[in-house]
Structures are given as structure tokens and as C-alpha cells.
Structure 1
Amino acid sequence: MSYLADVVLGVIEGITEFLPISSTGHLLLAEAWLGARSDTYNIAIQAGAILAVTLIYWRRITGLFLGLGQSENRDYLIKLAVAFGITAVLGLVVKKLGFALPETVMPIAWALVLGGIWMIVAEWLAGKKPDCATITLRVAIAVGVAQIIAGVFPGTSRSGATIFVAMLMGTTNRAAATEFAFLVGIPTMYAATGYELLKTLRGGGPAEDWTALGIGFAVSTVTAFVAVKWLLTYIQSHRFTFFAIYRIVFGGVLLALGAAGVLV
């Protein structure tokens, strides 16, 4: 049953990591019923989802590095580096401050609801501007900051925060904003995973069940690959409204359960 729980957690992570509905929020809720996991475990299965995106975007990634002779590729890589650098620096600051995820679901529920409303408003505002697929330095900086905000407030959604910040900052094209947000997430999550695993190996973290972690990692990789492929097709002709409504409804249900004393 323990390893079945790892399969369930892997599926949840794979589906929710890149859909703008908050993977951390869903995992925290799942662990309330399936048992808590360590930070190392949670970040490692997130890395499984990142591996899936790496596989999906491998042609784009190799094209950027092999095409360094072209100014547009160098410029794009610089923007990715800026966003990642901001996230890395601010992430270390957050770690030093001793930030810990909430142990109750109510903050997550409010983040889901408010985030859903914000998504609807943000996409409406972005829709009033001309279509633009350009990633500016302002967009890169905003995306880097948004990643930290999403990490500090579970339920916000890393993908949702970065995509919609990019759209509000000028990259109004959904596909372009999504691609940049996902590509920034690749080095960010690999670095976070390496950091946590290094802590564990040095004895700074709890002992891990590596079989359970491996199962969660593998399942999240496969599930995320399918989910992201679907999402990239979906956003070509659809807005993000469906995800915003899901967040509001799901968050509302959690708030009602909390008011009834079922959840805390």
C-alpha cells in the first residue's frame, strides 16, 4: 500500500506540476491522507516532471545551444539565465530565513481561489494587448520573481504564476509565455533537487526510502510527459479559463470542508 501511495503521488505531481493548478497544493492535500513525505521526496518527484519537459523540449534546448552564433538564440539564453539567477538567489534567501510550507490546507484553499480569480483577470488584461511572442528582460525578471512567490505560497502554482506574469509583462502569446516559463523551470527544479539530495547524502536530511522515491519519480515523469503534451496542444486554441474555474471550485470545496471541521 505504501508503494501504491507513491504511484498516486507521482500521478498527482505529473498532472499538476505544469498545469496551472498548483502541484504543491495538491501534494500537500494528498499527503494529508496518504502520509507526509520529506522535502527531498517532493522535490525529487517534481524533478521527474521536469525530466518530462526536458524530453519534450530537447530539440528547442539543443537548438538554442547549437545556434549560439545567432543573436536571437544568445538573447533568449541570456533571458533564461537572468530568470534562473533571480530565482536561485532569492531561493537561497528564503531557505536561510527558514521558510516552511504550511501544515494546514486553508492557506492553500485561499491561494487556489484567489489564484483562479487572478488568472481570469490576468488573461483578460493580456487579451486587450496585441499578440506578442517576444521575451523581454522585464519578462525574464518578473518570471524569476514569480517562481519564488509560487514556492513561498503553496496553491499559487509555479507554472500559473510564471505564465501569467509573462503575459501581463508583455509576452501576450500563450504558447511563447508557456514555453519560457517551462524552460526556466528546468534548471530551477534540477538545481533544487540536487540541493536537497546533497543535503540528504551529507546527513542533513531524513533517511529516504529510495525505492519509494524512485517509483514516484518514474510515475511523475511519464504522467507529466502526457499532461504537458496535451497542454501544449490545448493552449493553441483555448484560453486558461477552464483551469481558473477548476481552481476556484476546488478551493471553494476545501474552504467549505474547513468551515465544516472536516479539514484544518
Structure 2
Amino acid sequence: MPDWLSAILLGLIEGLTEFIPVSSTGHLLIAEKWLGHRPDWFTVFIQVGAALALLPIFWSKLMGLLMTWQRPESRDYLLKLTLAFFITGVGGLVLDKLNYELPETVGPVAWATLIGAFVIWGIEFWRRAPQGNPNLTWTIAIVCGLAQLLAAVFPGTSRSGATIMAALALGLARPAAAEFSFILGMITLTAAGGYKLFDAWKDGELHGAGALDLTLGFIAAAVSAFIVVKWLLRFVQHHNFNGFAIYRFILGAVLLVWFME
């Protein structure tokens, strides 16, 4: 398969799975079995593409918050968003300074995917009756920041899945939980991606990178992420996440059986 085509397919997979409560890492592991392994900085680059695709979706909300920052409700939301990002950012820098390395085997990813399925089921069962509170609390902001760190330490957890389900468990309504998770993820992935790409450039890892492959992967991730997030924002208005739990269980089982045989 031509490199440019595999770059497009990997970009599509990244964009389709990054912001829904499944494991983008697990999907990329499966895809690379056929499409070939890519360096980590390629994955980071297409993640940035997926993250930046959300900017047009939330532009009005973000500009509204910034333009009306003097209003208590706008300032409150911005401060909570900043706190969640700060927690993740500081935790990520600490992990980086400690030279934390992600697992190199599929097992941890598969088990995190399976455990995540049962967590989703449990939270949805517990929350079946109440619709949730639309107001974001400081506790939820703090826990979402920590949830992003959990997803960074245990690939397969799903960053969006961890933040959305943490917010739901603490009583936030599904639409508000999804929106906060997406905005927080957009900022976090862009900042983390920029940091990692700068490191890769500084270490000379980007030397010889194919501009065409990078561009096509970036665009594919951006377009697919935009479509998925627009769909999911409508989906959560009237549906729960049990379907994603079933999908995660199947994906985790496939990873365990296929890659560990």
C-alpha cells in the first residue's frame, strides 16, 4: 500500500476514535498491523489535526466566554477549564521529567479497554434515572484534569471516555460533560502535541519526514474528527454510552486474542 494512502487511513482512524469513549490507541494498533508502524511523532501530528478540527465547532462558545469574561458565569467556566488543563499539564511534565514510558506491549492497552467498558456500564446503570446537572463544578474540573492524566498513563483508557464518564459519575449532564471534555481535550492535545513535536524536531527525529504523508494524515484526522464530534454532540442529547461499552468490550477482546496469540 502506498505511504500516502496509509497516512490517510491512519488519519481517518485517529479522527474517528479520538473524541468518542473508545480507545484510539487500540484502533491504531490494529490498523498498523496492516498499514505498517509509524513513528510516535506521526501519531502526535495527526492528533493535533483532530484537536484543531474542534476549533470551528466551539469557536462561538470560546469567543463568547472570552468576550464576556467579566461575567461571573463566563469567568467561572474559564477558570475551571484552566484548572483542569493545568492539572493535566503539570502532571504530564512531571511524567516527562521522570522519563515515564508507555507500555510497549498490547496487553495493558487491551485490559484498559476492557476495564473501561465495565466502568461505562457501571456509571450508566448508576445514573439511569437522573438526567444530571448542567452546571460544571470545581470538583468535576479537578477530576477531569486527573482523568486525562489517567488516560495518559494507561493507554487504552480513552482520554475522552475518562473525562466524560468522570463528569457523569459526579452528576454532570451528558451534553455538558461531552462539551467540557471536547474543549478540554482540544486544548490539551494541541498543547501536548506541540510540546512533543518540538522535542522530536529538536532531537532530529523529524528529519526526512514526508510532507505529503503528514499533510494528508493531518487533513484526514481533522475532517473525520469534525464530523464525529458534531454527530456526538447531537447523539448525547438523547442517548447513553452503553453502546460504546459493548464496542470497547469487543475491541479489548480482539486485542487480547489477536495480538497476544
Give the TM-score normalised by the residue count of structure 1. 0.93
Question: Could you tell me which residue of structure 2 aligns to residue 94 of structure 1?
Answer: 95
Alignment of 1:45-194 (within 5 A): 45-129=46-130, 131-171=132-172, 173-194=173-194
CA RMSD between the two structures: 1.6
Percent identity over paired residues: 46
The Cα shift of 1:236 comes to 1.0
Which stretches of structure 1, 4 residues or more, deviate above 4 A after TM superposition? Answer: none
Question: Could you tell me which residue of structure 1 aligns to residue 196 of structure 2?
Answer: 196
The Cα shift of 1:237 comes to 0.9
Q: Please state whether the residue corresponding to 2:127 is helix, strand or coil.
A: helix
The Cα shift of 1:213 comes to 1.6
The Cα shift of 1:255 comes to 2.1
Q: Measure, in 1, the Cα distance between the counterparts of 2:259 and 2:6.
A: 24
Question: Could you tell me which residue of structure 2 aligns to residue 40 of structure 1?
Answer: 41
Q: Measure, in 1, the Cα distance between the counterparts of 2:94 and 2:24.
A: 22
Q: Measure, in 1, the Cα distance between the counterparts of 2:254 and 2:200.
A: 37
Q: Deviations over 1:192-222 (max 9, x none)?
A: 1211221133235343323212211111000
Q: Measure, in 2, the Cα distance between the counterparts of 1:67 and 1:105.
A: 46
Question: How many corresponding residue pairs?
Answer: 259
Paired residues of 1:82 and 1:140 also in contact (CA < 8 A): yes
Q: Please state whether the residue corresponding to 2:155 is helix, strand or coil.
A: coil
Structure 2 unaligned blocks of 5 or more:
none
Q: Measure, in 2, the Cα distance between the counterparts of 1:35 and 1:151.
A: 23
Q: Measure, in 1, the Cα distance between the counterparts of 2:233 and 2:133.
A: 17
Q: Deviations over 1:5-30 (max 9, x none)?
A: 10110110010000110112212332
Alignment of 1:24-35 (within 5 A): 24-35=25-36
Question: Could you tell me which residue of structure 1 aligns to residue 250 of structure 2?
Answer: 249
Structure 1 unaligned blocks of 5 or more:
none
Q: Deviations over 1:80-117 (max 9, x none)?
A: 00000000000011112222222322221111111111
Q: Measure, in 1, the Cα distance between the counterparts of 2:146 and 2:204.
A: 27
Q: Measure, in 2, the Cα distance between the counterparts of 1:93 and 1:204.
A: 23
Question: Could you tell me which residue of structure 2 aligns to residue 7 of structure 1?
Answer: 8
Matched, 1:225 2:226: yes
Give the AA of the match of 1:183: I
The Cα shift of 1:53 comes to 1.2
Q: Measure, in 2, the Cα distance between the counterparts of 1:98 and 1:126.
A: 39
Q: Please state whether the residue corresponding to 2:90 is helix, strand or coil.
A: helix
Paired residues of 1:139 and 1:166 also in contact (CA < 8 A): yes
Distance 1:194 1:254, change over 3 A: closer
Q: Measure, in 1, the Cα distance between the counterparts of 2:74 and 2:142.
A: 18
Paired residues of 2:15 and 2:220 also in contact (CA < 8 A): yes
Q: Measure, in 2, the Cα distance between the counterparts of 1:258 and 1:215.
A: 28
Paired residues of 1:50 and 1:221 also in contact (CA < 8 A): yes
Paired residues of 1:29 and 1:105 also in contact (CA < 8 A): no
Give the TM-score normalised by the residue count of structure 2. 0.94
Q: Measure, in 2, the Cα distance between the counterparts of 1:250 and 1:193.
A: 26
The Cα shift of 1:252 comes to 1.5
Q: Please state whether the residue corresponding to 1:102 is helix, strand or coil.
A: coil
Paired residues of 1:38 and 1:206 also in contact (CA < 8 A): no
Paired residues of 2:22 and 2:161 also in contact (CA < 8 A): yes
Q: Measure, in 2, the Cα distance between the counterparts of 1:183 and 1:230.
A: 15
The Cα shift of 1:130 comes to 5.6
The Cα shift of 1:69 comes to 2.3
